[in-house]
């Protein structure tokens, strides 16, 4: 029997290269080894976007199309939308009963987001409970593993705490304690060398036009100590070089030597990188555009995913209801 994994993404905007290198490539590889559930976390998106939800539906379709274009298979994996499986909210409530407030108030991601995100009112009841819904997402499918980035480790730890308490109170070993799968080794930063993110506007979208990619790559920060072309460069201090390491490790070695010996200028180096990204994204964009021409087909995929997810979710929830005497 294959072990099960569940992971999710919030549909808050277009997916970009950071999502591909940081998550989707990983998901794609895991599909053969695990039984995979990949979820569009639309309730989680609404926890921060509730004041302006107009793009939500579009983002859901757009993101799912990108997942499939990047190689997430509708045959191998279950692709579904959180809000379409109502059991997520039921288990969220059951977990809320037993989650101590202090655990949520002390959660480092919660405190950080309240501090950092100024353009939204996140002082809501739902946002405090964000990790409780995430715990329900995972445990509804009794997933043993959760592929996530490091930023999600605190939420996974909270999930384990909730699970331990649930098992202690109602039934030993009912839920497995899920573990993070931190297999991602590559890391792609944004154009300004901060984390690639919509809110920093430093990303290259998977759907980006070639002209825009060329412009964006030319705007990237390079080795700040290299002023003239004749100055030797330090590729280890250069984000563009890191892009080479991620997309073409072989060429990265050559670029490293050329850069150190001042045999290539940054403009030329970035022009070549733009070409590499454009070529890399071309087949993904071709599949993407095909899928977008048939939106009814995408809806059908999500309906099939909903059915499969719901079958598992309903079974877990009926067991849970028995355990808590509902
Ligand atoms: N919180 C996750 C993120 O922002 C998204 C998410 C929601 C998730 N539910 C999940 C991830 C369950 C893993 C498992 O990236
Ligand atoms: Fe970076 Fe390339 Fe310029 Fe070297 S030549 S500093 S690797 S952009």
| CA separation, residue 177 to residues 149, 157, 159, 174 (Å) | 18, 9, 8, 10
Which pLDDT does position 184 carry in this prediction?
Answer: 66
200 within some domain:
no
The residue among 140, 134, 21 whose CA lies nearest residue 78 is 140
**Residue 76 and residue 169 in one domain:** yes
Nearest alpha carbon, ligand 2 atom 4: 259
| 273 Cβ inside 6 Å of ligand 2 | no
Looking at all shown ligands, the one closest to residue 263's CA atom is 2
Query: How much distance in Å is there from the Cα of 269 to the middle of ligand 2?
Result: 6
State the sign of the Cα–Cα–Cα–Cα dihedral 235, 236, 240, 241.
positive
**Which residues share a beta bridge with 35?**
4
Which pLDDT does position 58 carry in this prediction?
Answer: 97
Instruction: Write down the pTM of the prediction.
Output: 0.95
Which burial class, exposed, middle or buried, applies to 167 when counting CB atoms under 10 A from its CB (0-12, 13-18, 19+)?
middle
Strand ranges for the chain from DSSP E: 4-9, 35-40, 77-81, 145-147, 179-181
**Domains held by the chain: number:** 2
Query: How much distance in Å is there from the Cα of 26 to the middle of ligand 2?
Result: 28
Which phi and psi angles does 115 have, rounded to 5°? -70, -45
Q: Give CA–CA dist 226/21, Å, rounded.
A: 28
The DSSP symbol for 181 reads E
The whole domain housing 48 covers: 4-188+295-323
**Residue 235 and residue 251 in one domain:** yes
Question: How does pLDDT run along the chain (326 residues), one tens digit per residue?
Answer: 899 999 999 999 999 999 999 899 999 999 999 999 999 999 999 999 999 999 999 999 999 999 999 999 999 999 999 999 999 999 999 999 999 999 999 999 999 999 989 999 999 999 999 999 999 999 999 999 999 888 899 999 999 999 999 999 999 999 999 999 986 667 899 999 999 998 899 999 999 999 999 999 999 999 999 999 999 999 999 999 999 999 999 999 999 999 999 999 999 999 999 999 999 999 999 999 999 999 999 999 999 999 999 999 999 999 999 999 99
**Residue 263 and residue 140 in one domain:** no
The CATH number for 19's domain is 3.40.50.620
Nearest alpha carbon, ligand 1 atom 15: 9
283 within some domain:
yes
205 within some domain:
no
**Residue 29 and residue 102 in one domain:** yes
| 6 Cβ inside 6 Å of ligand 1 | yes
Q: Give CA–CA dist 222/189, Å, rounded.
A: 12
**Residue 250 and residue 310 in one domain:** no
Q: Give CA–CA dist 261/250, Å, rounded.
A: 18
| CA separation, residue 36 to residues 3, 8, 184, 249, 262 (Å) | 9, 11, 17, 29, 47
Looking at all shown ligands, the one closest to residue 255's CA atom is 2
Which pLDDT does position 37 carry in this prediction?
Answer: 98
108 within some domain:
yes
**Residue 45 and residue 84 in one domain:** yes
Q: CB within 8 A of 51, min separation 6: which ones?
A: 120, 121
195 within some domain:
no
Which pLDDT does position 185 carry in this prediction?
Answer: 67
201 within some domain:
no
The DSSP symbol for 225 reads T
229 within some domain:
yes
**Residue 131 and residue 276 in one domain:** no
Q: Is 52 left (phi over 0), alpha (psi -120 to 50) or beta?
A: beta
Which pLDDT does position 85 carry in this prediction?
Answer: 98
Q: How many helices (H) and strands (E) does the chain have?
A: 15, 5
| 8 Cβ inside 6 Å of ligand 1 | yes
Looking at all shown ligands, the one closest to residue 238's CA atom is 2
The CATH number for 276's domain is 1.10.240.10
From the CA of 143, give the closest atom in ligand 1.
14
**Residue 34 and residue 93 in one domain:** yes
Looking at all shown ligands, the one closest to residue 151's CA atom is 1
13 within some domain:
yes
Tokens of 268: 């030329």
**Residue 128 and residue 112 in one domain:** yes
**Residue 155 and residue 278 in one domain:** no
The DSSP symbol for 190 reads -
Query: How much distance in Å is there from the Cα of 287 to the middle of ligand 2?
Result: 32
For residue 295, the SS3 value is helix
| 226 Cβ inside 6 Å of ligand 1 | no
Query: How much distance in Å is there from the Cα of 260 to the middle of ligand 2?
Result: 9
Nearest alpha carbon, ligand 1 atom 14: 7
**Residue 230 and residue 99 in one domain:** no
Contact 181, 153 (CB under 8 A): no
**Residue 8 and residue 151 in one domain:** yes
């Amino acid at each position: 029997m294959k072990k099960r994994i569940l992971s999710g993404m919030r549909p808050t905007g277009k997916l970009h290269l950071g999502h591909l290198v940081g998550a989707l490539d990983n998901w794609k590889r895991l599909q053969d080894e695990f039984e995979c559930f990949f979820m569009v976390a639309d309730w989680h998106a609404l926890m921060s976007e509730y004041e302006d939800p107009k793009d939500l539906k579009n983002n859901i379709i757009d993101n799912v199309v990108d997942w499939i274009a990047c190689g997430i298979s509708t045959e191998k994996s279950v692709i579904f939308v959180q809000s379409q499986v109502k059991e997520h909210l039921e288990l969220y409530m059951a977990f809320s009963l037993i989650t101590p407030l202090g655990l949520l108030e002390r959660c480092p991601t919660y405190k950080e987001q309240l501090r950092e995100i100024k353009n939204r009112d996140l002082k809501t009841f739902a946002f405090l409970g964000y990790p409780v819904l995430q715990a329900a997402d995972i445990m509804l499918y009794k997933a043993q593993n959760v592929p996530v980035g490091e930023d999600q480790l605190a939420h996974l730890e909270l999930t384990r705490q909730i699970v331990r308490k649930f098992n202690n109170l109602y039934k030993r070993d009912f839920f497995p304690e899920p573990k993070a799968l931190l297999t991602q080794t590559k890391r792609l930063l944004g154009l300004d060398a901060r984390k690639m993110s919509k809110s920093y506007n430093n990303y290259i979208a998977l759907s980006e036009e070639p002209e825009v990619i060329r412009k964006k790559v030319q705007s990237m920060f390079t080795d700040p100590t290299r002023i003239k072309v004749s100055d030797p460069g330090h590729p280890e201090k250069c984000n563009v070089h890191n892009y080479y390491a991620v997309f073409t490790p072989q060429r990265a070695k050559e670029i490293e030597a050329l850069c150190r010996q001042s045999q290539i200028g940054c403009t030329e180096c970035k022009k070549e990188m733009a070409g590499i990204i454009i070529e890399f994204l071309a087949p993904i964009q071709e599949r993407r555009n095909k899928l977008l021409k048939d939106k009814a087909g995408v809806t059908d995929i999500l309906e099939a995913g909903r059915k499969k997810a719901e079958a598992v979710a309903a079974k877990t929830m009926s067991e849970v209801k028995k355990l808590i005497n509902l």
